[in-house]
Amino acid sequence: MTTGAADETDHQRIAAVLAARGEDACHVREVLDRIGDKWSIAVVHKLADSPRRFSELRRDIPGISQRMLTAALRGLERDGFVDRTVHAAVPPRVDYALTPLGRDLLDSTWPLMNWVLGHTDDIRAARREYDAR
């Protein structure tokens, strides 16, 4: 994809930005601390196409408990990634939708997503080889 030289450039450019801010390069942790938990990413991806109701999400994300779904949604809402809309009705109805910021975050996960798609086999092979030793 890119040459070693190009990689170097990218990295050093980012390192320079970080240095200028007086921050450490391990800044990615900030995202991971935020969306690196077990379910947040799944929720964000489920909201990619359209807003969803609580029970829709619960149904569409296999294995999630309502407790964890609530926690994930609250966290995403707090960080400004998700909008929560309560419809005054009986039975109650709540819709969750991605904010522009949330959609932006989703965009930025795609390269990583794509990468996994393209390299899962490589990783599995590396693991098999390592474990066989």
Interface positions with DNA (CB under 7 A): 37-39, 53-56, 58, 63-68, 70-71, 73-74, 84, 91-94
How many CA atoms lie within 13 Å of 44's alpha carbon, on the beta-carbon side? 27
Closer to DNA by CB, 73 or 105: give it: 73
Residue 97 CB, shortest distance to a copy of itself, in Å, is 12
DSSP annotation string for 65-126: -HHHHHHHHHHHHHTTSEEEEEE--SS-EEEEEE-HHHHHHHHHHHHHHHHHHHHHHHHHHH
Q: Which of DNA, a copy of itself, none is residue 62 near (CB under 5 to 8 Å by kind)?
A: a copy of itself
Q: Which is nearer to a copy of itself, 67 or 91 (CB)?
A: 67
9 binds, among a copy of itself, DNA, none (CB under 5 to 8 A by kind): none
